[in-house]
Amino acid sequence: MPNPAHSEPLFNFISLARRGPGRDHFSRGELAQISRTVRRTPEVMVKVLGRGGQNLKAVLRHLNYLRSREEGDVPIETDEGRHLEGRTAAKELLEDWDLELDDLRPRSDLDSHGGGSKKLVHKLMFSMPAGTPPDKVLGAVRNFAREEFALRHRYAMVLHTDEPHPHVHMVVKAMSEAGERLHIRMKTLKEWRQAFAWHLRSLGVEANATDRSVRGVTEPRKLDGIYRPAHPKPKERPRFSTHIRRREEAVASELRAGGLNVEPSKAKLIATRRRMQQGWRVASEILVSQGQPELAADVRRFISEMPPVATEKEFLAIKILERQREPRSREPPISR
């Protein structure tokens, strides 16, 4: 029996724009997804954090970081329903998972993939916008993990609520109990986002999972390790992202010289936007013929409200100009 969390369609609006024969109606699930998207239902986020899963010390460091918060220690919830607390929690988890054996496995001749450092664990993060009940986010991740990994890959999770958006960090053992390695690809992430959103909706939380291009989003994403240093928390020692600083300096230099040089990626972004908009227009026509005029009107409004296409350089330029327009604080006059 197929997992219902994976049974909902993932639209291919580029193919829809070519509207072949027989495509004259949407299923109930497709109608629901169209409605969620054009009415801007909150989008789920599922990220794979890149570094820190290749050796025991790095994994132990990551687990201790997840456990220790400014407001106090938070428990690590395991796949067996246990809640590990205290300074020994991370070490206890690693011992239970026998990660020492996996740490040696990539260097043995038995590793069929050959050479290179293999991950001991995958580090995932599941997040929802501010205002989402944290217990619902944790419950949805718990249900997702049970269906995706139970009896195959060991996993543990930690709920963080010290930022406006509730999020759950999950650590998944890369090697399964049967000796099979977990590989995460782009298709995997899309399916996981879809499943996470489904589990949230099952708990009464409005959630959606669509591609950024389908929603008309062109603002570039950066790896967590690039953006996080650029936005430190108030109590943290100021840190700066050298990547963002270099990019901003280059953009500022072009602005001072009289304007931005157009990036080659701009043409591709514009072409993708046009194909997506055409796909949405075809969807609107199908909805009208299917007796869904209100939803068709929502689709047309959604198309008209898509933000302008912009490259990373253009987004940085907008931020620089906005900062320049901000009124500078003036010191009060000195009383005599």
| Domains of the chain, residue spans | 26-41+211-325, 45-202
List, for residues 90-110, the tens digit of each pLDDT value. 999 998 998 877 666 654 444
Q: What is the mean pLDDT of residues 185-203?
A: 94
pLDDT greater at residue 107 or residue 28: 28
Q: What is the mean pLDDT of residues 223-246?
A: 50
Q: What is the mean pLDDT of the chain?
A: 81
pLDDT at residue 314, rounded to an integer: 75
Lowest-confidence pick of 1-10, 112-121, 186-195, 319-328:
1-10
Q: In angstroms, how far apart are the furthest CA atoms of the chain?
A: 84
pLDDT at residue 238, rounded to an integer: 44
Q: For residue 143, give Cα distances in angstroms to 94, 134, 175, 203, 208.
A: 23, 14, 21, 10, 17
Residue 94 to residue 257: CA distance in whole angstroms: 56
pLDDT at 236 over 70: no
Give just the sign of the alpha carbon dihedral 164, 198, 272, 50: positive
pLDDT at 133 over 90: yes
pLDDT greater at residue 272 or residue 18: 272
Strand partners, 86: none
pLDDT at residue 162, rounded to an integer: 85
pLDDT at 336 over 80: no
pLDDT at residue 243, rounded to an integer: 67
Residue 245 to residue 232: CA distance in whole angstroms: 14
- pLDDT band (50, 70, 90) for residue 324: confident
Residue 112 token pair: 């069929």
pLDDT greater at residue 99 or residue 46: 46
Domain range 45-202, its CATH number among 3.30.930.30, 1.25.40.10, 3.40.50.150, 3.30.470.20: 3.30.930.30
Torsion angle of the four alpha carbons 153, 204, 166, 219, in this order, in degrees rounded to the nearest 10: 90
pTM: 0.80
List, for residues 136-145, the tens digit of each pLDDT value. 999 999 999 9
The H or E element spanning position 255 is: helix 242-256
pLDDT at residue 178, rounded to an integer: 87
Taking Cα atoms as reference points, which of 46, 31, 33 lies closest to residue 215? 33
Lowest-confidence pick of 36-45, 97-106, 309-318:
97-106
- pLDDT band (50, 70, 90) for residue 117: low
